[in-house]
């Protein structure tokens, strides 16, 4: 019975109420709907919200492509601000502003998504940041440019890059687990 | 101006998507990569959702002669898988697993002001400049 009720709430949200202004409020509400699968044992956050987030990411990459004809790759956008090229910088600054504004909105309406818990020492974050900054430049892209945009257009380079960085990430976490850095 | 607004609002929606999805939480990202341990597969749905939408819309959009606000699409055409691509992606993946952040979520999560995110962000920026320096000094000689 409970499963049916909760499922109806989610359906309402999907099919009957896509009013954009209340969109965020609805997302917050939907996260409170628990257990519509597995009879109350599974939190909807575990897969439904990642799916909603993924759809938003796909839509936003489409919006930038449709309006400006550019690929939504964050590492490339960032590099174009840090190492500016004449005439190709202003939109990148605007995009970074959009990401920061998203962070501010999230802090207000969905603070749990910004409750970052540090997982290690500053040295670990320094090493991680250097690897991510250097690696994405050498590899011409990151999770957005290769993982979302590149795979969507079936670019062989992006497919190879995505498999490589996910595999490297899995190996790094396995290594951290092996040496006891992960509890 | 409309170009700037397009970039701003695309990125705003992108950032909200990252937050809603849970990509801004490094513990969640590391859980996704922890295949050999306590694996949390939920973030796979982020890529599934994003690719499901964009693989369809990409085909529809690029059927147009041009984007709405500019003259041409600027889409990478390079297809060759070279050592730079693979080695760079290996380094990026290692850093992603180590810190739990990729570039987009790091920028969004930096707003939280949590020191470790800021340390990551500054180091990531340093990494971009380090690449620029090495690329200029060594890698592109002879080109």
Lowest mean pLDDT among A36-40, A135-139, A171-175: A36-40
Establish how many alpha carbons lie within 13 A of residue A15's alpha carbon, considering only the half-sphere containing its beta carbon: 6
- Interface residue of A73, A82, A115, A116 to substitute, partner B, most B CBs within 10 Å: A116
Q: How far apart are CA A51 and CA B21, in angstroms?
A: 7
Domain chopping of chain B, boundaries: 2-139
CA distance B141 to chain A (A): 15
The pLDDT value given to residue A142: 96
Q: How far apart are CA A154 and CA A81, in angstroms?
A: 27
**What is the pLDDT averaged over residues A43-55?**
86
The pLDDT value given to residue A46: 79
Q: Which has the higher per-residue pLDDT, B1 or A72?
A: A72
pLDDT in tens, B5-62: 999 999 999 999 999 999 999 999 999 999 989 999 999 999 999 999 999 999 999 9
Nearest-CB residue to B86 (from A103, A152, A160): A160
The pLDDT value given to residue A119: 78
Contact assessment for residue B7 and residue A95, using Cβ atoms and an 8 Å cutoff: yes
Q: How far apart are CA A157 and CA A114, in angstroms?
A: 32
pLDDT in tens, B124-140: 999 999 999 999 888 66
**What is the pLDDT averaged over residues A102-109?**
97
The pLDDT value given to residue B1: 86
Nearest-CB residue to B18 (from A53, A64, A92): A53
Q: Which has the higher per-residue pLDDT, A120 or A138?
A: A138
Residue A182 has pLDDT above 50, yes or no: yes
For A43-102, the DSSP string reads: -GGGTHHHHHHHHHHHHHHHHHHHHH-B---HHHHHHHHHS--TTSSHHHHHHHHHHHHH
Domain chopping of chain A, boundaries: 1-46, 47-178
Average pLDDT, chain A: 84
Other beta carbons within 10 Å of A84: 13
CA distance A75 to chain B (A): 6
Residue B86 has pLDDT above 50, yes or no: yes
**pLDDT tier, B87 (very low <50, low <70, confident <90, very high otherwise):** very high
Other beta carbons within 10 Å of B3: 16
With a threshold of 0.85, tell me whether the complex ipTM lies above it.
Answer: yes
The pLDDT value given to residue B140: 66
**Buried b or exposed e, range B109-129, using 16+ CB within 10 angstroms:** bbbbebebbbbbbebbbbbbe
**pLDDT tier, A183 (very low <50, low <70, confident <90, very high otherwise):** low
- Closest residue in chain B to residue A166, using alpha carbons only: B93
The pLDDT value given to residue B67: 97
Residue A22 has pLDDT above 80, yes or no: no
**What percent of chain A shows pLDDT beyond 70?**
75
**pLDDT tier, A180 (very low <50, low <70, confident <90, very high otherwise):** confident
List of chain B residues whose C-beta atoms are within 8 Å of the C-beta of residue A122:
115-116, 119
């Amino acid at each position: 019975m409970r499963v049916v009720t909760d499922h109806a709430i989610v359906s309402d949200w999907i099919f009957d109420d896509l009013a954009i202004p209340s969109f965020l409020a609805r997302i917050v509400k939907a996260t409170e709907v628990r257990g519509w699968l597995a009879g109350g044992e599974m939190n909807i956050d575990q897969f439904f919200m990642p799916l909603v987030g993924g759809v938003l990411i796909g839509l936003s990459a489409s919006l930038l492509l449709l309006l400006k004809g550019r690929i939504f790759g964050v590492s490339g956008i960032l590099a174009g601000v840090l190492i500016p090229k004449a005439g190709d910088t202003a939109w990148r600054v605007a995009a970074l502003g959009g990401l920061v504004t998203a962070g501010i909105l999230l802090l207000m309406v969905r603070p749990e998504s910004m409750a970052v818990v540090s997982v290690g020492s500053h040295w670990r974050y320094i090493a991680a940041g250097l690897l991510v900054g250097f690696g994405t430049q050498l590899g011409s892209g990151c999770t957005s440019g290769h993982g979302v945009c590149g795979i969507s257009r079936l670019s062989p380079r992006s497919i190879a890059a995505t498999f490589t960085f996910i595999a490297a990430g899995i190996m790094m976490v396995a290594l951290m687990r092996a040496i006891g850095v992960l509890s | 101006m409309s170009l700037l607004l397009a970039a701003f609002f695309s990125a705003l929606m992108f950032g909200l998507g990252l937050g809603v999805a849970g990509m801004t939480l490094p513990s969640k990202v590391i859980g996704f990569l922890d295949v050999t341990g306590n694996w949390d597969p939920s973030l796979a749905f982020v890529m599934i959702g994003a690719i499901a939408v964009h693989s369809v819309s990409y085909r529809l959009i690029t059927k147009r002669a041009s984007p709405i606000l500019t003259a041409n699409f600027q889409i990478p055409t390079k297809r060759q898988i070279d050592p730079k691509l693979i080695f760079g992606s290996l380094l990026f993946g290692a850093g992603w697993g180590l810190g739990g952040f990729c570039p987009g979520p790091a920028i969004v999560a930096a707003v939280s002001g949590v020191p470790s995110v800021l340390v990551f962000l500054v180091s990531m920026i340093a990494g971009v400049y380090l690449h620029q320096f090495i690329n200029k000094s060594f890698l592109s000689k002879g080109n």
